[in-house]
Amino acid sequence: MSLPAWWHGRYGQRLPDWLGFASLLPTSALALWRCERNATGFALALALGSLVFFGLSKQAFGNYYFFSLGAICCALAATRADAA
């Protein structure tokens, strides 16, 4: 359930193991640049970072993605109703 696993199954080549960790730098920079500095922004940054990290890690299970989905739900719950 990750890009390196799919890549290995499709092309027979292994992607580097550090790819998931290296993806955290641009993801964190994007989150700091675009997300608001409140609970909603924190939950969205956490969801984005964990989703990209799990998607580019060597292995990922379905439960890992539930964490990202839960962070997105927390971001929706923290959003003010009058902002929509």
pLDDT computed for residue 58 by the predictor: 85
DSSP letter assigned to residue 15: P
pLDDT at 8 over 60: yes
Mean pLDDT over 3-14 rounds to 92
pLDDT at 84 over 60: no
pLDDT computed for residue 77 by the predictor: 93
pTM for the model: 0.85
Place of tokens 């939950």: 43
Amino acid type, 41: G
Nearest-angstrom CA–CA distance, 39 and 26: 21
Question: Is 54 in contact with 5 (CB distance < 8 Å)?
Answer: no
24-82 confidence digits (pLDDT tens): 999 999 999 999 899 999 999 999 999 999 999 988 888 999 999 999 999 999 988 65
Give exposure, 62-77, as e/b (b: 16+ Cβ within 10 Å): eebbeebeebbebbee
